[in-house]
Structure 1
């Protein structure tokens, strides 16, 4: 016999039903079945078996549900009286799960599944239920078997049948119907079917989680990429911790594998470790393994087969090893299904899924992920160089010449012609090198292959140009570029081109600066300038070549300006050198190559001007852009265009900045030539320009996503990538896209403090806490508020610290963590007092009192509420400012009201002579008396506030009348309500608020008059 009572067991059954889905809940449900059986109470056993069946069915152990359900059916057949109305409803409701889930278990014969359907139909008819749910199960079976005709018949019957209490929820029905459209190849129809779920009009325990996952690939195939991105960010957060949604999580992995987001897919594998072992839920397990195999194959195909990847516990995995293991596991399970079904359909579909090719090269998600070539992210390692440094090595036209995109698409952009003639290819490559065209490197490679294919070889001059162009196309640290450029310089010398050799050596110096080697850069470039001027005097170096080396010297000096002992003196020297350069080049403006160097020098002057007078930089950047375009080299204008846009933004000229950036980004020929660094900066500038403009929120979000993507791709802009994601998270949060905001913000938190600073970290945590509050993850919200408060505790302005601590208390309260909330509010009280904000102190004390009621008891709570009252009254006495007096007067009245309510919390209701014990009656009377006193004081406090407190005063009067009525003082209550009613009639009521109060007043008056003596 059990040692526990039936009531105790039943209480635990209810409590276990509220536990999270998963193995611990299942184990507890099993224990409770054993205990219930030991009591001999059949209705209790029914409840326990129902609880166990539900627990199994919603978890990855759904294969275990058939035994307890079969037992319930036998008990129903033997004695339906053991089932109350709710139990009977649950029994028939669970029939649907059994019939549907049987298809997902390969060990259950197909004949048994068909028998379950027949039995379900028979029992539903006997019970008088609609057969809609039966048709839904028939539809699922037919879909799974690939029986199109049967599926169509079942779907038609389903839609024609009445919807009753046994029908599946509408969200689940729509999910299955949409999947059918996908299987038939109609993505658009599927999304139309799913619309009520995706728009939030239909939902349930697992919806929209599952539909968001299934919608991903249809959206990508239809080109609705913003929606696909959104559904992934929302849907994965919803599904990731739900054990029963293995298929949905697998769909997110599949999406990542087919959209160029392999690193994100690997992160999901790492986060979902338990799913490798959930073999009990056979179909989701097979889908999980298949999608893991697909992802692993993509990683292997991209050349990272030896990369460590997450996998089943117990060993270290590479992508190649996981591919083999996951493929074997998925196919082994598929074979079991095929053997059961008598076909090869499951294996055939699985092979197609695992062998799928990407739908896109890349779909930026806005998330921070480690590149495939590294095990951990290196994002955010260094701070920016700061606004006072006007230029860095590698910017300007040299950076603008770097290539990341396909060759340009029109002759206007200088695209290589489609010819295989080595002579034509060499001519074209030389032309592109001469203009520093981004596709010069590719053109030289093609020319070299053509020459070598014909048995020839490049001469020294051409080889030098090839090396120059290749070096200019490199990104990242400059050592490899420096080596190529040094080799190019030697080849130029051998070819008798000393001027070109000097330019290559100048680029070597800039490349060394990019690698952080600045010690001898200025000395080296000074020597090169002297040699260039000497060669020019002898006619062995052109004006363009000399101007180029002089520009390099100015760039080196600009890059070293921030570290100079006397920055102002160095800035003056730099300006003088730029003025001299412009004077030297002025007579040769008709030469396009020289005009481009004039543009470079003008841009550097703009950067210098921006240090002291940002407005003065605008015309200089404008001139630099104009010179580049006039030279016929618009691809070299990008750096100046970015600087111009940023300067205009700094001046608040958003429209002009927008026009500058759109002129580049709206030109497909120019976009094709942009390197990732320039693309990222342009996208961010445009995002800043459209920020806050009505109707541009979607564009801003897309631009921020692109900024982060191209910044990551460049490998050079970790701070910009982080800044873009920070803004994107905030934008999503402000727009109510909370799941997406949380996903983005969670991805950037690790690097924010060291890269962007404390204030950005605090802001990100506040946004994230707001997201968690909106998604009912209150414990996580409290954690973020607390961490933000810890960061802000050392700030001079302690108001931030106080606000964040107060918000942490609110989140802890919402999470049901009363004692922790009490401590948080206690700290907030101390902070508000330190600041001198009396109103905030009062509110924190009141909140602390309510939390203390549950954590520490009635007496502590009342003491804290009285402390709040004393604080408000003292503040009111100490101030003469009218606004402060009005606000504190309201605080006094509200605190009296809350103290009244707190008194009532210690009762079991109004005093009742007939039913209360003497002791309880005395307690109730005392509490209601005390509450009435507080209500009267609240009336007085609000009345003293005049017009500001009028509405609150009227409500407090009504509260006092109700208390008088509860204390069996109908005469007092009637007198008060008549007086209140008369006052209400005299007052204007433009919004109808007082009319509602008058109705309540009439109801109290009626009750009071009904209870007057003699009535």
Structure 2
């Protein structure tokens, strides 16, 4: 719309400039987007009705700001031209701040022109020259001009000019028109990264990423820019952290499409294509908003990259969210269709830019971006993968290596596949299951009839396949048994029958299984005695019987055919054949079963020893991958016994042995188990790495809602303890979507919301934090008395967050509710802290004597006095329970410390509420202030005495109260008393004392007081 005409339906001229500024401030707090822009257009229309240039100037500036931070940046140019014309005609209508913002916005308009392909290059150069002329006449540095020149040169691909402008930009002096430090550093780092020096880029970005330099859009944009340079430098952990942190910052900001595109690109290049699809689905409008063509082009390019990756993974026909708008509304898109659309539209926009620029630089950049290859095959993020992404399976051990790129894949023949399957079976490798399936499939496709012995192996291994339905397993083993008999291998036939019986037990039919296993065991032993079955085959049948007994739950004191005796039968039979690796593996299995029985009887130490013996036995038998279950069980028992070293060693061994053959669900469980051990020993950093792996493996196993949610829950807590609040918040938000109180327990849900509230509070998101605390408190409110303390603590945290969000009324009510909960629990110190917090909240709107606040402080004093009257002896409540001042004494000392703190805060509140000082020129105001200061000093002096009585534990509280009393003495015109108190502070900290931050600041303040008091005394 044109800003030369009033916007539709203005409300009328503003009442005064202050009301108008408040209205603009309120509109600026709205979310970025068309709604906020419409508000700015309406305010400008109202300003025009006033007939006053000052209103119009400020209205235009506000409109420009809203356009610049939205998808309608193409609307900036007309209102800026009008603003500039007003400056040229009547500069006196601009105050100092308006003038500064006018020159500041030159940069926005200059860089914005490069983003609009319909603006001719000659017009851009003309505008740059005009900017340079005006800056020179106004006496401004050329730094911003050279930055704008660099932006144009870099955009059109003029590297030589861009290098000169870049050097001049960095060399020129900073002044008030220079971009903020954060934005400048982002631009400079982008130049370095774009010219191959990622390390230099990250060095430039460090102050922005570290929070030293920030602004409305930083570090948001720099976090996004840093992702690929970090990956290229092998700093994947930092890249992951910056993605989690940065995406949370930009996901609701309409003007940050270019940064959002970087996060989509990051997902496409790190094996997180499913996550990339979720990001596309978050902001479908980003595929169509044309207000800033350059960021649209970037977004389309990374969309093409992501969808190409998905198509290469075999997902081209899958549905995906596409662009909204004319011709697309209601349409269902596939990955392949969106890939073609995004590539076509990105290149079309690039062509428009190149036609304007007279170069091919933009198209070349877009093509390069769309063709990028992954920088990491698999980078776990700790977030749930929305849907599985198909990937080519790793080749089985012994299988031929994949062909080199560019050569056709040679499919192995049936004979080759059979040879590989037999080799894997001989080596007792878990891969044999898949190898026999591949051989059978190839034979079926080729119409080849397999030998009966091989058909027996195919049936047996199909029965072992984890994807085979439980009800089919026994039948498949039965088929295999018949085929083994037909092939003249009676030993293997009996093994198959024993395994069929075990399959019945796994279906819950243990009595049927015991009946079915008896004959195969007897026949296997007889065949072995006749030399027609190997010792390993007979031992295997016996192990199946022992496992069935163990599953049935028979104990050591059961009937003759009990689990213990069945296990002992394996060991007795195998003893003469200990040197046979195949038999040794069955002996290890027997040790594992004995360990399970011991653990079931509560004999944990013997169970641990047996599990360790089993694991060692599997390794000695040459099948360490079968030790995983024993090692995991050993880790669990060792943890319960407090033997963390053994637990950690065992689970690390399990992870090592399962690395090649383990399935996703097992891998998830092992990583979760190791993470628990590490986090419980204070190694949250390493624990977080394993929790990341646990979450990813759980997703791949299709267990995201159970094990995955549990892993993300713990990962969020570990990240929070590591001080990585933004990452923790992203992970915990994700975990909450899957945590179920019925599955994971109410405690897990409450803890997750608690942690999330803590993370959001550290990020300054106080309203959101309060919401999480309230939701957690609602659950805790239903718990029995043992959980009442959590309820009260959560209510207090909610109140603190509401107060930090400056929602004083809501915070006061929340503190009142929390106080009632602490009163019910009999926790007087916690109750007192809620009363003091309410007192300060009551002071905020009042500022006229602080009567309500003083009354609440008096209530706190009465509560403490009453509690002290009934507390004669130490004990019953210590500092750790209350969270208050830490003292070594019991209940009475804690209460005394809280009473001293209440007196100190009462004195502080009384003097703050008076609204003046004893030195006010107005005599009545000075007299009122003097009276308030005297009254406040009385309370602070009582605090000093109280903290002094409590001794060294309250030294910092004592010196803080002394300093407050000293300043009050000085303000009351008593420099001698002020100096005496300052010297008491210095005496409390001997010269050889550890110089912590608190100690140094107290010493410095005391010295300043002495200087001030001396000057006052000399003056009087």
- TM exceeding 0.5: yes
CA distance in 1, matches of 2:643, 2:952: 45
SS at match of 1:266: helix
Residue 523 of structure 1 and its aligned partner are, at CA, apart by: 0.9
CA distance in 2, matches of 1:656, 1:962: 60
Residue 291 of structure 1 and its aligned partner are, at CA, apart by: 2.6
Q: Is the 8 A contact 1:639 1:678 kept in 2?
A: no
Q: 2:671 pairs with 683, 696, 700, which one?
A: 683
Matches for 1:256-405 after TM superposition, within 5 Å: 256-312=267-323, 314-315=329-330, 317-320=332-335, 321-343=337-359, 345-372=361-388, 405=394
CA distance in 1, matches of 2:14, 2:626: 85
Matches for 1:95-106 after TM superposition, within 5 Å: 95-106=106-117
SS at match of 2:737: helix
Q: 1:207 pairs with 218, 222, 237, which one?
A: 218
Q: Which residue of 2 aligns with 1:785?
A: 773
SS at match of 1:2: coil
SS at match of 1:59: coil
Q: 1:87 pairs with 98, 121, 134, which one?
A: 98
Residue 571 of structure 1 and its aligned partner are, at CA, apart by: 13
Q: 1:587 pairs with 572, 576, 600, which one?
A: 576
Q: 1:440 pairs with 427, 432, 438, which one?
A: 432
2:627 pairs with 1:627: no
Residue 776 of structure 1 and its aligned partner are, at CA, apart by: 0.5
Q: Is the 8 A contact 1:433 1:469 kept in 2?
A: no
Q: 1:131 pairs with 116, 138, 142, which one?
A: 142
Unaligned runs of 5+ in 1: 375-402, 412-417
Q: Which residue of 2 aligns with 1:721?
A: 708
Residue 656 of structure 1 and its aligned partner are, at CA, apart by: 3.8
Change (3 A) 1:245 1:838: same
Q: 2:547 pairs with 545, 552, 555, which one?
A: 555
Q: Which residue of 2 aligns with 1:390?
A: none
Q: 2:905 pairs with 898, 901, 924, which one?
A: 898
Q: Which residue of 2 aligns with 1:600?
A: 589
Residue 162 of structure 1 and its aligned partner are, at CA, apart by: 2.9
Residue 831 of structure 1 and its aligned partner are, at CA, apart by: 1.7
CA distance in 2, matches of 1:569, 1:711: 39
Q: Which residue of 2 aligns with 1:468?
A: 460
Matches for 1:52-67 after TM superposition, within 5 Å: 52-67=63-78
Q: Is the 8 A contact 1:502 1:528 kept in 2?
A: no
Compare 842-851 and 977-986 and name the one that shifted more: 977-986
Compare 785-794 and 504-513 and name the one that shifted more: 504-513
CA distance in 2, matches of 1:646, 1:152: 61
Q: Is the 8 A contact 1:732 1:741 kept in 2?
A: yes
CA distance in 2, matches of 1:938, 1:921: 25
Deviation per CA, 1:196-250: give whole Å up to 9, x if none: 4444444433233222222323333444322322221122112212222111111
CA distance in 2, matches of 1:299, 1:744: 24
Residue 188 of structure 1 and its aligned partner are, at CA, apart by: 4.8
Q: Which residue of 2 aligns with 1:46?
A: 57
Q: Is the 8 A contact 1:262 1:372 kept in 2?
A: no
Residue 145 of structure 1 and its aligned partner are, at CA, apart by: 1.8
Q: Which residue of 2 aligns with 1:26?
A: 37
Change (3 A) 1:163 1:483: farther
CA distance in 1, matches of 2:284, 2:776: 30
Q: Which residue of 2 aligns with 1:643?
A: 633
Change (3 A) 1:633 1:272: same
Q: Which residue of 2 aligns with 1:389?
A: none
Q: Is the 8 A contact 2:966 2:981 kept in 1?
A: no
Q: 1:74 pairs with 69, 80, 85, which one?
A: 85
2:604 pairs with 1:614: yes
Matches for 1:233-248 after TM superposition, within 5 Å: 233-248=244-259
Compare 127-136 and 162-171 and name the one that shifted more: 162-171
Change (3 A) 1:424 1:782: closer
Deviation per CA, 1:959-996: give whole Å up to 9, x if none: 56765776xx64xx467547646866876745567755
Change (3 A) 1:716 1:98: closer
SS at match of 1:812: helix
CA distance in 2, matches of 1:338, 1:978: 74
CA distance in 2, matches of 1:556, 1:160: 81
Deviation per CA, 1:67-122: give whole Å up to 9, x if none: 22111211222222222222222222211111111111222222221221121122
Residue 775 of structure 1 and its aligned partner are, at CA, apart by: 0.8
Change (3 A) 1:836 1:14: same
Q: Is the 8 A contact 1:408 1:672 kept in 2?
A: no
Residue 489 of structure 1 and its aligned partner are, at CA, apart by: 4.4
CA distance in 2, matches of 1:977, 1:191: 51
Deviation per CA, 1:889-936: give whole Å up to 9, x if none: 2322332333334344543313678547x7x77875765565455445
SS at match of 2:388: coil
2:932 pairs with 1:910: no
2:819 pairs with 1:829: yes
2:885 pairs with 1:870: no
CA distance in 2, matches of 1:238, 1:262: 21
CA distance in 1, matches of 2:982, 2:241: 55
CA distance in 1, matches of 2:712, 2:468: 22
Deviation per CA, 1:821-866: give whole Å up to 9, x if none: 1222112212211221211111111112223444799544333222
Q: 1:775 pairs with 753, 760, 763, which one?
A: 763
Q: Which residue of 2 aligns with 1:167?
A: 178
CA distance in 2, matches of 1:982, 1:223: 56
SS at match of 1:365: coil
SS at match of 2:255: coil
Matches for 1:163-202 after TM superposition, within 5 Å: 163-188=174-199, 190-202=201-213
Deviation per CA, 1:140-191: give whole Å up to 9, x if none: 2222222222222322332333333333334333333333344445545544
CA distance in 1, matches of 2:348, 2:239: 32
Q: 1:846 pairs with 821, 836, 843, which one?
A: 836
Q: Which residue of 2 aligns with 1:528?
A: 517
Deviation per CA, 1:765-814: give whole Å up to 9, x if none: 22222211111111111122222222323143222222222112111111
CA distance in 1, matches of 2:964, 2:447: 102
SS at match of 2:589: helix
Residue 35 of structure 1 and its aligned partner are, at CA, apart by: 2.5
CA distance in 1, matches of 2:915, 2:560: 80
Q: 1:748 pairs with 727, 735, 750, which one?
A: 735
Q: Is the 8 A contact 1:486 1:505 kept in 2?
A: yes
Q: 2:721 pairs with 730, 734, 737, which one?
A: 734
SS at match of 1:528: helix
CA distance in 2, matches of 1:340, 1:576: 88
SS at match of 1:870: helix
Q: 2:805 pairs with 804, 807, 815, which one?
A: 815
Deviation per CA, 1:367-390: give whole Å up to 9, x if none: 12232379xxxxxxxxxxxxxxxx
Q: Is the 8 A contact 2:474 2:504 kept in 1?
A: yes
Residue 642 of structure 1 and its aligned partner are, at CA, apart by: 2.7
SS at match of 1:619: helix
Q: 1:764 pairs with 747, 752, 756, which one?
A: 752
Q: Which residue of 1 aligns with 2:3?
A: none
SS at match of 1:245: helix
Residue 481 of structure 1 and its aligned partner are, at CA, apart by: 6.0
Q: Is the 8 A contact 1:404 1:676 kept in 2?
A: no
Residue 507 of structure 1 and its aligned partner are, at CA, apart by: 4.6
2:857 pairs with 1:889: no
Compare 198-207 and 973-982 and name the one that shifted more: 973-982
Deviation per CA, 1:468-522: give whole Å up to 9, x if none: 33453434864676675565445435434454345445555666777xx42x254
Q: Is the 8 A contact 2:536 2:586 kept in 1?
A: yes
Q: Is the 8 A contact 1:426 1:444 kept in 2?
A: yes
Change (3 A) 1:356 1:938: closer
By relative contact order (CA 8 Å, sep 6+), the higher-ranking structure is: 1
